A and B are shown apart, each in its own frame.
Chain A
Amino acid sequence: MSIIEYSSMRLYAASLLFLLAGCNDPVRTEENAAEVRVDSTVYHAPAAVRVRARNTGTVTWTTGMCGLRLQRQAATNWQTVAVSPAPGEGCDLAVLYVEPGGVLTRWINLSPGTVPGAYRVIVDDIHPELPEAARSSQTFQVAAQ
């Protein structure tokens, strides 16, 4: 047996044990759950979108005051169209705690030229190990003027 075959077998065995143990979702747990919401289902740019991330898990978040991404739904994926703070704006350097049940409130601006379509906001500053979908708001529409 080659080293590669041996390594592959070990990896396969480890994966099997992991699945048998009921841990087939290794990143999202009751501990690190989050619920991200925006206030409205439709916005007309320019507008300020309030983003509220509720800690629905069981551990306190250690986070900060930055790290929002506005994404627009494209044909096959989500594309980032704005970040907050914008590059060069800097980021306040406080550590912020959000206890279980607590809410992190942030805002991101829809500029006057925001293209109509389906959008969502990703909160990057909480549990970066979670997939984007677990740190994403619901989808909302930016309507034409």
Chain B
Amino acid sequence: MAYAPDLSGNRAGTLMTGTTNLRAYRSPLSGGWQIAWWDNGSSGLCTAAATLKQSTSKVFLSAAHCGQRFATTGTRFDQPTLGNRIGAEISDAAWLPANTGVCQFGTGVDCRYSDGVIGLYDIATRGALGSVGKPIVRNPAYSDPTVVTVDDLNSTFSIAGTYPYPHVGETVHHVGRTTGWQSGTVAETCTDMYRLDAPTNRNFVLLCQSRVTATSGKGDSGGPAFFFNSEMNSVTLVGMVWSGGGFEIGNNPEGNTIYSEMWISPWENISIDYPGLSIQ
């Protein structure tokens, strides 16, 4: 269940029947829905990008920092919250060693192509291939109570394909458990982003990332970034959300920080880190 806007100013709103939301239980799981993670005593929330095929296995894509430690497998994933396990991390891309190949950022600074991570479903039927959640409102204000509301009868976009890199000026959309369905313009492409793996204090660089002027919020990490075809009600995956950008524009009613922009790992980079992914 979710809540429709209440013009009386009551933030809780009025119960709206026939709807669900991106923070609720969802089975089989599509991209855009909330997932919970647990890793070595730490836990939190993120968003699933999509259910995909890798060889013959049904897997899900999300962000590697959802689980905190990069290049280390073992994070457990649940949906929508801990206590409802859906699977575990099976692949977290290895570092490209500093001062080798394209990774030339100084001694001790390793690289990766993406912030993606691959999880394997415990039960294959828990994941829905080829679909992304479809909120009822596009570009809502972050304080809008319907920000993550989804119509039960028209709850997903179909994934029509993938595209390697977005280009400056193109419109890119994303769906996440915090800010719902947002869109913006690609402002920057192929930027190398310095990062810090906080638990281990490892400095590294994410190679060739893209900046989009779309609102994002804490919890949206791992969500799908895509081109939208309104006539076909379909999307083309072009990447995965991992970072807020621009400036902080406030906190949503949950208290999560909201940013004016976002950074994505392009689909091609995800494919380099994880060869053999397909949408069907």
* A interface, CB within 8 angstroms of B: 48, 50, 62, 64-66, 84-85, 88-98, 102, 105-107, 125
Contact = CB atoms under 8 A, between A and B. Distances in A.
Main secondary structure of the interface of A (DSSP, over half): strand
A107 B242 contact: no
A51 B259 CA distance: 24
A92 B44 contact: no
Nearest to A124: B257
A93 B65 CA distance: 9
Contact of A94 (B194, B219, B254, B262): B219
B193 A93 contact: no
A62 B68 CA distance: 15
B269 interface: no
A111 to B, nearest CB: 13
B230 interface: no
Contacts of B68: 96
Contacts of B65: 65, 92, 94
Contacts of A85: 196
Main secondary structure of the interface of B (DSSP, over half): strand
- Of the candidates B66, B218, B220, B243, the one having the most CB atoms from chain A within 10 angstroms of its own CB is B218
B41 A102 contact: yes
A95 B66 CA distance: 8
A94 B44 contact: yes
B46 A94 contact: yes
Contacts of B42: 96-98, 102
Contacts of B63: 92-94
B201 A95 contact: no
A91 B201 contact: no
A105 to B, nearest CB: 6
- The 7 A-B pairs with the shortest beta carbon distances in the complex, nearest first, are A90-B243, A93-B221, A95-B45, A96-B44, A95-B219, A92-B65, A95-B44
A134 to B, nearest CB: 17
B194 A89 contact: yes
- Of the candidates A50, A65, A94, the one having the most CB atoms from chain B within 10 angstroms of its own CB is A94
Given A105-B199, A107-B198, A93 B217 contact: yes
B66 A94 contact: yes
A93 B218 CA distance: 4
B241 interface: yes
A91 B218 CA distance: 9
Contacts of A97: 42-45
B218 A95 contact: yes
B144 to A, nearest CB: 19
Interface string B213-244: 00011111110000000000000000001111
